[in-house]
């Protein structure tokens, strides 16, 4: 999330969504494939580092290995504003209070990520209860979800062509459809292989919807102020991950009391609130995309 705000600076305003989609492809592949990798690495024992501790040891080594590569490959971009740490932190509140679209995007992102977390938090519980499968099998679904990452560049181009609100509308429909499908497949009497195959389809659609929403939201906020993109992203991602934490906490309660029915009902409820925020949100010109369209229209006249 330090790299992500740099992407719009390296592309023209007309291709901002596409640039964000390209970077998000890598980020989302990392998030999803890490589930698979960590699920199986946790089964390896390296001396004192056993089980889940192994994952953190391996992650630390991998992160350190990136340091020399980053120094060689990342562009040297001077800061747009020379702010002290205290000034930068105070400016976050100013951005939040003054930018309605930032608040709307952050709220939608938090609600969507909360619903997304409902599935991934309880997937291991579900597979263990239904089929006796462990963390490794649950992590393997990350490979399946990674197939949905191909939608990221497409979502970026859609945002450039039709606007982020258009992409968000499709994202909400896609996410709702995925949870309806995941809920319905559990209620059908099918062999285990058919159930798992149906879940694979649901996971791909779920990740496609989540990625579309994330790219659309970040395309919107990065168009608000080119000189404050990192700080805008800080505000957005703080609220975004807070939503994931709340979603994970709520879905644990839902699982204990209502099992998979509770998980899907909670996720669809969160998406319904996100849809209300979207429907009542700002619809007028709000980003550089719209300004460029209006300028081109004037020039044509």
User: Across-strand partners of 46?
Assistant: 49
- pLDDT given at position 285: 47
* Rounded Cα distance, 64 and 5, in Å: 22
Chain segment 112-132, per-residue pLDDT in tens? 999 999 999 999 899 888 888
Torsion of CA 49, 55, 57, 63, to 10 degrees: 180
Confidence of residue 287 (pLDDT cuts 50, 70, 90): very low
Asked if the structure places residue 132 within a domain, the reply is: yes
Q: Which two tokens stand for residue 132?
A: 């006796």
- Examine residue 59 and state whether it is found in any structural domain, yes or no: no
pLDDT of residue 294: 38
Mean pLDDT to the nearest integer, 24-35: 81
Number of domains in the chain: 1
Q: What is the mean pLDDT of residues 159-183?
A: 95
Which CATH number belongs to the domain containing residue 139 in this structure?
1.20.1250.20
Res. 225: pLDDT tops 80: yes
Average pLDDT of 28-49?
A: 73
Handedness of CA 46, 49, 53, 58 (dihedral sign): negative
- pTM (2 decimals)? 0.82
Q: What is the rounded CA–CA span in Å between residue 263 and residue 195?
A: 17
**Within a domain: residue 20?**
yes
The mean pLDDT value for 182-200 works out to 88
CA-based nearest residue to 209, from 145, 255, 135: 145
pLDDT of 191 above 70: yes
Average pLDDT over residues 195-222: 91
Question: Is residue 273 predicted with pLDDT exceeding 50?
Answer: yes
Three-class SS of residue 93?
Answer: helix
Please give the average per-residue pLDDT across 209-230, as a whole number: 91
Strands (E), the chain: none
Q: Residue 137 has what pLDDT?
A: 75
By percentage, how much of the chain surpasses pLDDT 70?
Answer: 91
User: Looking at the predicted structure, is the pLDDT value of residue 152 above 80?
Assistant: no
pLDDT band at 50 (very low <50, low <70, confident <90, very high): low
**CB neighbours of 203 closer than 8 A, spacing ≥ 6?**
119, 141, 144, 145, 148, 178
The dihedral of CA 112, 117, 122, 123: what is its sign? Answer: positive
Q: Is residue 252 part of a domain?
A: yes
Averaged pLDDT of the chain:
86
Angstrom distance (rounded) from CA 273 to CA 148 = 24
- Give φ, ψ of 49 to 5 degrees: -85, 105
Mean pLDDT of 175-204: 91
Our CA angle for 65, 30, 72, nearest 5°, is: 35
Tell me what pLDDT residue 47 has.
Answer: 58
Confidence bin at 296 (pLDDT 50/70/90): very low
Tokens representing 45?
Answer: 């024992």
Q: Please report whether residue 34 resides in a domain.
A: yes
Instruction: Give the model's confidence band at 290: pLDDT under 50 very low, under 70 low, under 90 confident, else very high.
Output: very low
Task: Output 282 or 273, whichever has higher pLDDT.
Answer: 273
| CB-based contact 278:271 (threshold 8 Å) | no
DSSP assignment of 108-132: HHHHHHHHHHHHHHHHHHHHHHHH-
Domain enclosing residue 118, as ranges: 4-41+95-300
How many helices and strands (H and E) does the chain possess? 10, 0
Residue 209 lies in a domain: yes
Examine residue 62 and state whether it is found in any structural domain, yes or no: no
Mean pLDDT computed over 259-279: 97
Q: Tell whether 53 is covered by a domain.
A: no
Confidence band (pLDDT; 50, 70, 90) for 18?
confident
The model's pLDDT over 72-86, given as tens digits with 9 standing for 90+, comes to: 888 888 887 788 999
């Amino acid at each position: 999330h330090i790299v992500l705000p740099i992407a719009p600076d390296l592309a023209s305003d007309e291709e901002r969504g596409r640039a964000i989609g390209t970077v998000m492809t890598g980020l989302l592949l990392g998030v999803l494939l890490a589930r698979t990798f960590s699920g199986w690495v946790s089964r390896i024992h390296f001396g004192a580092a056993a089980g889940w501790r192994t994952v953190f040891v391996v992650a630390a080594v991998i992160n350190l290995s990136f340091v020399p590569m980053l120094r060689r490959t990342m562009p040297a971009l001077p800061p747009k504003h020379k702010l002290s740490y205290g000034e930068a932190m105070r400016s976050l509140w100013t951005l939040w209070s003054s930018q309605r679209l930032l608040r709307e995007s952050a709220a939608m992102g938090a609600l969507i990520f909360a619903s997304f977390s409902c599935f991934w938090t309880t997937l291991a519980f579900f597979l263990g209860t239904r089929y006796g499968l462990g963390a490794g099998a649950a992590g393997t679904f990350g490979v399946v979800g990674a197939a949905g990452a191909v939608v990221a560049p497409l979502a970026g181009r859609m945002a450039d062509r039709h606007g982020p609100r258009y992409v968000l509308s499709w994202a909400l429909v896609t996410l709702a459809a995925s949870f309806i499908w995941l809920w319905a497949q559990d209620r059908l009497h099918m062999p285990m292989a058919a159930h798992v195959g149906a879940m694979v389809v649901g996971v791909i659609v779920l990740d496609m919807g989540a990625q579309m929403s994330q790219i659309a939201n970040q395309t919107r906020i990065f168009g608000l102020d080119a000189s404050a993109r990192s700080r805008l992203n800080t505000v957005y991602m703080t609220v975004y991950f807070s939503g994931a934490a709340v979603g994970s906490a709520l879905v644990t309660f839902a699982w204990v009391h209502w099992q998979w029915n509770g998980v899907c009902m909670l996720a669809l409820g969160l998406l319904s609130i996100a849809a209300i925020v979207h429907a009542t949100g700002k619809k007028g010109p709000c980003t550089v995309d719209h300004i460029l369209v209006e300028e081109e229209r004037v020039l044509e006249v």
